[in-house]
Amino acid sequence: MKLFAVGVGGSGAKCLEAAIHLHTMGLLDQEESPPTELGVLFVEPDRQSALLQRAQTALVRTQSLHKALGGVTQHFCPGGELKDYGVWNPVESVAGQGSLTMAQIYTKHTLQHRSPALGGLMDCLFTQEEQKLDLREGFRGRPPIGSALMSAIALDDSIHAKTWGRFLGDVRQAAKGGEEVCIHMFGSVFGGTGASGVPTVGQLLRNWLKNEGIQRAQLNASLLLPYFNFKDHGTKDTGLHAEASNFQLNTGAALQYLSQEDNQDFDRVYLLGSDAKVAYGFSIGGASQANGAHLVELLAALGLRDSLGKTRQAAEAAYTLSRHNQSSVNWSDLPDSAITRRAMSRGARLAVVWRNNISLDLEAANGQSLKRFCVGAPWATRFYPAGSSEEASTLGSRKDKDARLAADQWSETLLTWLKQLCSSTGGALEQKLLNPAKLQVQQMHLESLADLVRDRDDGQVPKRETDVEYLKIKLDRRTSGGNPKGTAGLLDTLWELCDQP
């Protein structure tokens, strides 16, 4: 199956960040089917968005890891292409690199001259400040501005060849080639870019699918309801900005539009929010908007998993998802809880063991005799040819060294995301998934995995089985099979060993 994910705005980018990590951990694959291919496209007018840049970093580092492994692993990242369609900036698509305002889009001066009534209508719909806002800075929590801009754009226009052109071309090729295809959109409905972009672009995509005669492709959406507030507020000098007091109003307007009887744009809609709202620092966007990952974004990304193997259905149904305990969130609260828990715990173990132990061992091998190093780390000889030289050297080839660097960067990115995810539940809501203290990137060896998974009863498990040293012993014993050599083989074997139901 081919999944095409579109993240609109800052929250949409954070959902794509979650989807990228879920893809690497195998949560977007179907049983007894070829690995799922995932393509991602960002829709964001704010090029300086820290949320966009963070998601792109996760994408680039994950792609680098896939490339470094060379497709030889059997268990870890065995396939399933991760494709980047880039960032579509609706403002730049209209104005290029120059500034663009609402008054320029609708040529207000010409409009007032030709039809004073229409010019007056524009003044009724948009304030003077909204009409003069430089849209390169985003839509500042004003959905009507984004809707007015994006509704006038044709996605298949040649000007969008680098983003939508490649995206739609691959959708067309996959769907008409008989493959299962799902396009899934992500965005908030209480801000500006997401609230305007998801319904508008969704309608444009549905019209394109109809014009292409593509009937089998799913078009779904994960819509984020309010799940955070701001710690403080803007001032008069801040200019136009998103205000938490408008979140409910924006949400109501977006849901009212999507619930209209003639609105058949989406096959499935997932609505996700939280009554326990986390408080983020106030920001008008750009580099200062560095909100941490949130559980709601993980749930939204898991909507991709729900699409696996499903086709369009005429019957309507509604399902609900809620916490079992009002004051906490547990693995049992997540969809496909047993599978989700197993995959995410496995990914966390691998990232912790690699970045905070194995990688430090391999780094320590540089500059000393490989023969001497392997006396203390016999597992290394199973993957790297140590030879008999007593001279200082490095383990493995240049390709192995590049793979180690890619694995370091990927594991750091995953650990950072998991730590944010488990630290931003909001209010008095207790998180019982993973222990944030164990997810810290550090320069000293972490020797125990006890208490990493919070609902695991380590008291019933022999202590040695939670020790990294014991895992290394099993690592030495598990390398006689068909695993590849070098760093790829080491990661592949570690991924197997980190799988604990």
Q: Give domain limits for the chain.
A: 2-99+136-313, 103-133, 339-497
Q: What is the largest CA-CA distance in the chain?
A: 89
The rounded distance, in Å, linking the Cα atoms of 103 and 111 is: 10
pTM of the model: 0.86
Can you give the pLDDT at residue 243? 57
Residues 209-242, buried b or exposed e (16+ Cβ, 10 A)? Answer: beeeebeebbbbbbbbbbbbebeeebeeeeebbb
388 confidence band (pLDDT: 50, 70, 90): very low
Can you give the pLDDT at residue 408? 96
- Token pair belonging to 487: 């760093």
Residues 303-331, buried b or exposed e (16+ Cβ, 10 A)? Answer: bbbbbbeeeeeeeeeeeeeeeeeeebbbb
> Across residues 330-354, what is the average pLDDT?
95
Q: Which residue has the higher pLDDT, 30 or 123?
A: 30
The rounded distance, in Å, linking the Cα atoms of 197 and 369 is: 58
Nearest CA-CA partner of 84 in 16, 35, 26: 16
Q: Any residues with CB less than 8 A from the CB of 417 and at least 6 apart, and which?
A: 17, 18, 21, 58, 293
Q: Which residue has the higher pLDDT, 11 or 197?
A: 11
317 sits in the region (left: phi over 0; alpha: psi -120 to 50; else beta) called: beta
Measured CA angle at 160 (ends 154, 165), to 5 deg: 95
Residue 47, burial from CB neighbour count under 10 angstroms (0-12, 13-18, 19+): middle
> In the predicted model, what is the mean pLDDT of the chain?
81
- Token pair belonging to 193: 């870019």
DSSP assignment, residue 157? Answer: S
Instruction: Provide the pairing of β-strand 368-369 with 392-393.
Output: antiparallel
Measured CA angle at 138 (ends 45, 161), to 5 deg: 15
Nearest CA-CA partner of 304 in 218, 236, 234: 218
The rounded distance, in Å, linking the Cα atoms of 78 and 93 is: 37
- Token pair belonging to 46: 């704010």
pLDDT beyond 70 at 358: yes
Radius of gyration of the chain (CA): 25
Can you give the pLDDT at residue 39? 97
Nearest-10 Cα torsion for 232, 235, 240, 243: 30
The rounded distance, in Å, linking the Cα atoms of 133 and 139 is: 8
pLDDT beyond 70 at 491: yes
Q: Which residue has the higher pLDDT, 394 or 115?
A: 115
Residues 399-429, buried b or exposed e (16+ Cβ, 10 A)? Answer: ebbebbebbbbbbbbbbbbbbbbbbbbbeeb
For 64-96, write each residue's pLDDT tens digit: 999 999 888 888 887 788 999 999 988 776 655
Q: Which amino acid is at 267?
A: D
Q: Please state, for a pLDDT cut of 90, what percent of the chain lies above it.
A: 40
Q: Which CATH architecture has domain 2-99+136-313?
A: 3-Layer(aba) Sandwich (3.40)
Q: Which residue has the higher pLDDT, 12 or 104?
A: 12
Most confident of 10-24, 353-367, 484-498: 10-24
pLDDT beyond 50 at 234: no
**What DSSP string describes 421-483?**
HTT---TTPEEESB-GGGG---SS---B-TTSBTT--GGGS-GGGGBHHHHHHHHHHT-SSS-
The residues pairing with 218 across neighbouring beta strands, listed in sequence order, are 182
Instruction: Provide the pairing of β-strand 181-188 with 368-369.
Output: unpaired
Can you give the pLDDT at residue 417? 97
The rounded distance, in Å, linking the Cα atoms of 123 and 117 is: 10
For 398-427, write each residue's pLDDT tens digit: 888 899 999 999 999 999 999 999 987 766
Helix (H) / strand (E) element for 6: namely: strand 2-8
Share of the chain residues as helix, strand and coil, in percent rounded to the nearest 5: 50, 10, 40
pLDDT beyond 50 at 241: no
Contact 217, 266 (CB under 8 A): no
In angstroms, how far is CA 276 from the centroid of its own chain? Answer: 22
pLDDT beyond 90 at 164: yes
